[in-house]
Amino acid sequence: MDRLNYHHLLYFWLVAREHGLANACAKIRLSPSTISGQIHALEHTLDQKLFQKKGRRLELTDMGRIVYRYADEIFTLGKELQDAIHDRPVGKPLRLQVGIVDVVPKLIAKKMLEPALALGSAIRLICVEDRLDRLMPALAMHELDVVLADSASESSSTIKAFNHLMIDCPVAILGANRICRQYANKFPISLRGAPLLLPTSNTALRRAMDHWLSDKSMLPQIVGEFDDHALLEVFGESGLGLFPVPALIADAITKKLNVRKVGVLKEIREKFYAITVERRVTHPGVAAICDASIKDDRIYS
């Protein structure tokens, strides 16, 4: 490979950042042929295609996304160098852009992010909630640094994902104080016919609960299904029914809400993942998250 030409890299970075050749040309006032020639020279140097045509649009290839991430870090660092030389403020917090799958309980998301927050003012946290299938393209385009999810993501031909298991714990069943007593005895057999509030079928927890209930020939009364875990907890506190939570945060929820623990389903494990598109994580905040996995093997009663 020939020596890297940073002028070529700069033009590539601008086109990728501005989402197209025309936008980049308008910004730096150069002709499309000039910029295209610079990008072709960079592709020749790297011996890799960085863009591919999709209709009228240019899209980054998988290698293009990797090169863009490095280029972004290079030119951000160059800007900081200029600021330092001219006595302008430096040391701005590093942005940590996190996608959180909307079914992940808020307390679980907070626990997963705590290692990055422990880095202090060096991190500026930006969180976006959505479905996993909507967050993954943003991760692939490096618009997000990491995605926190309740299930692993499968790699596809367009997105190569790496799943880092962060939390592995059993499931606790909670309920309002006034209905818990009758279901605490002979648990978990007492769940037969019990009113349950469950997450919707698009969640890993719901699938695991359905499988366990079927395997144990349990026929509970499902009185509510919720996309939003916080809303599920609100209705659970009202006494509408019992509800499952990761055992890792059960004590925190009983302190926050007027609910108590009925029991723990040790056979059902809830798992939460940090998903990246880089095998070797370079962002310090993401590295802190991925290095702090929690396997909850406490003895539950």
For domain 6-85, the question of CATH label 3.10.20.740 is answered with no
Three-state DSSP state, 246: strand
Rounded to whole angstroms, the Cα distance separating 96 from 119 reads 11
What are the sequence ranges of the domains in the chain?
6-85, 94-301
Q: Cα 74 to chain center, whole Å?
A: 25
* pTM score, whole prediction: 0.68
Rounded to whole angstroms, the Cα distance separating 207 from 209 reads 5
Helix or strand holding residue 1 (H, E):
none
Amino acid at 165: L
Say which residues have a Cβ less than 8 Å from residue 133's Cβ, sequence separation at least 6.
none
Using the Cα atoms of residue 206, residue 170, residue 292 and residue 124 in order, give the sign of their dihedral.
positive
Tokens of 151: 């299930």
- What are the φ/ψ torsions at residue 100 (nearest 5 degrees)? -120, 120
pLDDT block averages, 10 residues each, the chain of length 301: 78 82 75 83 88 82 89 79 56 83 93 90 86 88 90 75 92 91 87 92 90 89 91 93 94 92 92 86 86 65 46
CATH topology of domain 94-301: D-Maltodextrin-Binding Protein; domain 2 (3.40.190)
Cβ proximity of 105 and 46 under 8 Å = no
Rounded to whole angstroms, the Cα distance separating 224 from 206 reads 12
- How high is the pLDDT of residue 295? 62
- How high is the pLDDT of residue 199? 92
Tokens of 94: 């590093």
Which tens digit of pLDDT belongs to each residue from 183-212? 888 889 989 989 999 999 888 899 999 999
Instruction: Give the residue from 5, 3, 27 showing the smallest Cα distance to 16.
Output: 27
Q: State how beta strands 51-54 and 57-60 pair.
A: antiparallel
Cβ proximity of 123 and 285 under 8 Å = yes
- Maximum separation of any 2 CA atoms in the chain, in Å: 77
